[in-house]
Every structure is written in structure tokens, then in C-alpha cells.
Amino acid sequence: MTPTTETTVGIGGAAESTDMVLNIGPQHPSTHGVLRLRLVLDGERIVRAEPVIGYMHRGAEKLFEARDYRQIIMLANRHDWLSAFSNELGVVLAVERMLGMEVPERAVWTRTLLAELNRVLNHLMFLGSYPLELGGITPVFYAFREREVLQNVMEEVSGGRMHYMFNRVGGLKEDLPAGWAGRARAAVAAVRSRMDVFDDLVLGNEIFRGRTRGVGALSPEAVHAYGVSGPIARGSGVDFDLRRDEPYLAYGELRDTLKVVTRSEGDCLARFEVLLEQTHNALDLADACLDRLAGLPPGPINQRLPKVLKAPEGHTYAWTENPLGINGYYLVSKGEKTPYRLKLRSASYNNIQALTELLPGTLVADMVAILGSMFFVVGDIDK
């Protein structure tokens, strides 16, 4: 009979209660860019979560102080690279408010139109990328097809695909190209006709619903505590949208078309549903703006500015309903051609803080589903 050897390995009684520290990121596993999450785990469950930011920080707020009021537009449109037009808009609205400047009506309606087209471009990216993070590869191809249709009209009018640089203090860079309104209307109609792909292919998928329903529920109290805004806040039942509640541009005249979408569940599925329904409404708003522009008489698209533009001494705050949430600029002027101070309040910076409350108690497997449903851009966090 062959002798056998038995080996007993002891791990110690304390090992079962020892927490594990897991770093997610700062590269690809963190999704949407260079974010790092420091998780403390008890088995497969998250005990604590700490977002670690700053890997892309480029000091835009300090650079604002060394650029004149025309040049800061270039810095402003890059923090949320999916919402470049809306980022520019907040800066020029703040400077125009300081100057007491009235913008031509054609510029007001064109800005509103382009802001809504930019909102659709932003939302389509997340409508495609979020299912991809959960294992569904097909929707992202449809999303990029629709984005390309709208990118073409945005590129034609501005010359840029991502960083449009089309806003100017006093209006817009130039008037719309001949026939552009018709091409824009056709693009909006084409995208709208194919949006059922996301309604059926994504929301109709039981695996997607199983991964997102009841997962990562964010309470309205947490929304208010952390200053969360945009689709994430409205997914938790917080009924607030600056376009309706503090109208700017032409939104005050679009009340009949504007629909503020909310859900009460506050989970990943609710946030996705809000984003999808907002996309439908943004297309409707774009059509309404095109209708109004068609009825306007020919006129200027901007104001003539002095060679050296100086804002009077004082301060102001301008905020807009960006695609990802509230975007605000606090401008302080000493009467010079550069801002004395320009503080940026970005949507993603506040929204991502809620992860410290949202992730604890959830499983590691649900972390990616929760993280993707926060719809953030890392440049919008790091500024």
C-alpha cells in the first residue's frame, strides 16, 4: 500500500473579516476616462468607495485669467468634450450679462437650436456606450451612425466636429450656410425615425433590464446633498431643469414643446430612461427652433465688438442646463480685457461625488452598471 501525505493549511481566524482594498482605474476599468476608484471590499460587497480625481487636471480656471474674453471660449469648450457648444454658451452668456448686451434674435434662436443638437449628440454617446459596458455591443454602432448624421450638420455650420468654437460674445461666429436649415431638418428627421432602436433593442432587452432595474438607487435626499443635477437627478424624481425653471436663450418661448422627464425609482434603469426620453424631446425642440428660424426676417447674427473687449468691474453668475447637468460660470472682472476670476461649476464634478454614498452596500459586479449610469466625462470632473 502506497503511503499518503496529508497537508493542512491554516489561514488564521482573522482572514475572514479582513477588508480588501481594490483600485479600479485610473485607466480603462474605470470607464469614461482617467478616473480612479478606491474600493474597500468585504468579500464581493463594497464597504467604502472613494473617487480619486485629478489625473487629467489642466488648470483651466487659472488659464482663464491669462486669456482675453475671446480666447477663453476655446478653453471653456473642452472640459466636457461631448458638450462643447453648451460649454461655450455659458461663458458668452456670463460676459454678455456683464456688458448688458442684447443679442440679435436670430442668434438667440440659432444658439438654442445648436444647443439642443449638441444635447442629442451627447446623449447618443451614452445611449450607445452604456449597454456596451454591460456586454451589449450592437447599440453603440447605431449610436455612432446617428451621431454622424448630426455631426455632419454641426461641422458644416461651425467647421468643427467636437470643439465648435462657434459662439462669440454678442452672438455667433457667422450666419448659417445657404440651405443648411433644410439639411438640419432632414438630419433631425432621420435620427428621430431610427430612435426606436434604443427603445426596443436596449430597453426591450431582459438582460439589460435585469442588470439595471433596482441597482444603484440614488435617493432625492442624496441628490440635494451632493448637488447632483441633470438626467441623474431627474432619474431620482428631482424635477428641476433650468430651461423651464430659469429660462435663458429662447426656452421661455418653447414651454409647450419642452418636456422635463423624471422617474421616481432613482436606479440605473431610471437614469437611462430619462436620458433616452430627453433625447426624443431635444429632437422636438430642434424642430421647433428650425420652424421659428424659418419665420424670422433676415438680420444680423452677432453684435459688432470693439477691437479690445473689456468687461466692466463687477461679478456675475451664469448657469445653463448642459446635457450632463448644471454648468455654471462665476465671472469676476476688474475692468480689464481678461477675467480677474472665472470659476467653473461643472455637472460631472458634483455628480461623481454621489458615488461615495451610492456604491457602499452594492456588489462589485454591479459597480460598472452604476458607474456607467452616472453619465460623466472625466474632463468635466478634472477641469
Domain ranges of the chain: 60-381
Grid cell locating 176: 448659417
Of the candidates 210, 213, 207, 217, which has an alpha carbon nearest to the alpha carbon of residue 362? 217
C-alpha angle with apex 213: 212 to 219, nearest 5 degrees? Answer: 100
How far from the centroid of its chain's Cα atoms is residue 300's Cα? 31
Give the three-state DSSP class for 319. Answer: strand
Mean pLDDT by 10 residues, the chain (383 residues): 52 56 76 82 92 88 93 91 94 95 96 97 94 91 95 94 92 94 97 92 92 94 96 96 96 96 95 96 97 94 92 95 96 95 94 94 92 91 86
> Residue 37 phi/psi, 5° resolution?
-115, 125
- In this prediction, residue 167 carries a pLDDT of 95
- In this prediction, residue 34 carries a pLDDT of 83
- In this prediction, residue 11 carries a pLDDT of 45
- Which residue matches cell numbers 472665472? 342
Residues in Cβ contact with 189 at an 8 Å cutoff, skipping those fewer than 6 apart: none
Q: To which CATH superfamily is domain 60-381 assigned? A: Cytochrome-c3 Hydrogenase, chain B (1.10.645.10)
Q: Which is it for strands 167-168 and 45-52: parallel, antiparallel or unpaired?
A: unpaired
Grid cell locating 329: 460660470
- In this prediction, residue 13 carries a pLDDT of 44
- In this prediction, residue 10 carries a pLDDT of 43
- In this prediction, residue 9 carries a pLDDT of 44
330, β-bridge pairs: 317, 343
Give the three-state DSSP class for 196. Answer: helix
Q: How far apart are the C-alpha atoms of 239 and 264, rounded to whole Å?
A: 10
Q: How far apart are the C-alpha atoms of 367 and 371, rounded to whole Å?
A: 6
Of the candidates 218, 237, 157, 190, which has an alpha carbon nearest to the alpha carbon of residue 353? 218
Of the candidates 281, 28, 37, which has an alpha carbon nearest to the alpha carbon of residue 132? 28
Q: How far apart are the C-alpha atoms of 295 and 317, rounded to whole Å?
A: 33
Residues in Cβ contact with 14 at an 8 Å cutoff, skipping those fewer than 6 apart: none
271, β-bridge pairs: none
| Segment holding 371, helix H or strand E | helix 364-372
The 8-class DSSP code of residue 103 comes to P
Grid cell locating 128: 450607445
Of the candidates 81, 112, 45, 95, which has an alpha carbon nearest to the alpha carbon of residue 285? 112
pTM of the model: 0.91
Sheet of 314-322, strands arranged across: 314-322, 325-333, 341-345
Find the DSSP H helices in 70-164. 72-76, 84-99, 105-133, 138-158
Grid cell locating 157: 455650420
